Structure 1
Amino acid sequence: MLEVKDKIKETAIHLFQRYGIRSVSMDDIARELSISKKTIYQFYKDKDQIVTLGVVEHIEKERDEFQCLLNSSENAIDEMLKFSTCLKRNLGEINPALLFDLQKFHFSAWELWVDFKNGFIKKTVLNVIKRGKEEGLFRPEINEEILACYRIEAIEMAFNQHVFPSEKFDFVELQITLMDHFLRGMLTMKGLLYYDELNNSTTDENR
């Protein structure tokens, strides 16, 4: 029975990420699994419960991945680039409407995301910026508090269909471009030389 419950959650999360939350009904989930909607309600009260569990699962996964990045990064630039790769992997198949759907229709899940964003993610970015300043890779005069707030809001802004409509902008390319712009604005000459050398090395490997 537990296997069925987990399968329902996994399938629902996959559909939410691909099509957005509002566009996916309980009937759609049941149809995808070839089960009755009644079976879903044996395990979950409603769609909101599944959404909330999905957000909790996503947050736990992100925490683990960010911690691994911190432990395996040579310096602050390396950490930022690994974060960018992680972002590309995690966001590649997510419908940009998902965040809007969370905010408008699933308040409890949205609050979990906001707390995670303003707590853990902001603290992580702050620590990376401080590390980069100590390593001489980021300019010493920059205000890490302002830039950490700017960075986490930029991630969320990329989901805004009024600002970046999905028919015009590739979502992953958008996030990578914003990250590149953010990082270059903080670099010292030492940091810029290292960053360009790293980018050129990565480009040559992908040819």
Structure 2
Amino acid sequence: MDGFKRRSELKKTSILQAALNLFMKYGIKKVSVAEIAKEADVSQVTIYNYFGSKDKLVDEVIIFYMEDVWREYERIINSDIDFTEKITQFIFNKKTSASSIHEEVYNYIMQEFTSGENSYIEDFYTNKALPEMIKLFNQAKEKGQIDRNISNEAILVYIQMFREYLQKKEVYEHILPLTEDLTMLFFYGIIGGRVEKK
């Protein structure tokens, strides 16, 4: 990558990070392009040149956020720490905790996920998150931290039940404060099945 492209990418990243910081603090609707430009130390014209519109910027910010969170999750999954410690880090991850994500941003992500309009989020779930979760559970089975007799098919059904319920608008619009509790119930529900079948 030449110097111009590198500077361009750095500027784009700076805009995305500035917008993310503001969205997480104030929500999406209350934040103007002018405020994002000021936070990123660029002109509004620069933002429109890169993203075209605020709506497209919001989409790019959500992708930027999810990729950032995913890099952290991948680091945890691929680390040498104990499975239960990995789960603890998932549950109490500061980037995804209810205190660090604005409800409007959370609802936006869930709305896009359930609408089927944003193929990125569906693709992210299907091709990144799900395979890595199965990999994580397989690692735990090998170490005897999850009952080896629990099939991946059963785990996938369990994940799907959570997913389908959380995709309901009347649920996801009110559930953000419970995310840590639900994540705990989700993972420890799987870990809890450690009694070997006879």
Question: If the length of structure 2 is used for normalisation, what is the TM-score?
Answer: 0.68
Q: Matched residues in 1 for 2:193 and 2:169: separation?
A: 36
Helix, strand or coil at the partner of 1:21: coil
8 Å Cα contact 2:166/2:172 also seen in 1: yes
Deviation at 1:116, TM superposition (A): 0.9
Aligned to 1:199: none
Q: Matched residues in 2 for 1:67 and 1:110: separation?
A: 23
Aligned to 1:82: 89
CA gap of 1:43–1:179, structure 2 versus 1, over 3 A, is: closer
Aligned to 1:15: 22
Q: How many residues align?
A: 185
> How do 1:143-158 residues align onto structure 2 when only pairs under 5 Å count?
143-148=151-156, 150-151=158-159, 154=162
Deviations 1:51-104 (A, max 9, x none): 233233234323422232123243332222222233x43333212332433535
Q: Matched residues in 1 for 2:72 and 2:160: separation?
A: 17
Q: CA RMSD in A?
A: 3.8
> How do 1:54-93 residues align onto structure 2 when only pairs under 5 Å count?
54-86=61-93, 88-91=94-97, 92-93=99-100
8 Å Cα contact 2:165/2:171 also seen in 1: yes
Deviations 1:1-36 (A, max 9, x none): 846554433221222233333443434434656876
Unaligned runs of 5+ in 2: 1-6
> How do 1:1-207 residues align onto structure 2 when only pairs under 5 Å count?
2=8, 5-30=12-37, 37-86=44-93, 88-91=94-97, 92-102=99-109, 103=111, 110-148=118-156, 150-151=158-159, 154=162, 162-163=170-171, 166=174, 171=177, 174-187=178-191
Helix, strand or coil at the partner of 1:186: helix
8 Å Cα contact 2:20/2:65 also seen in 1: no
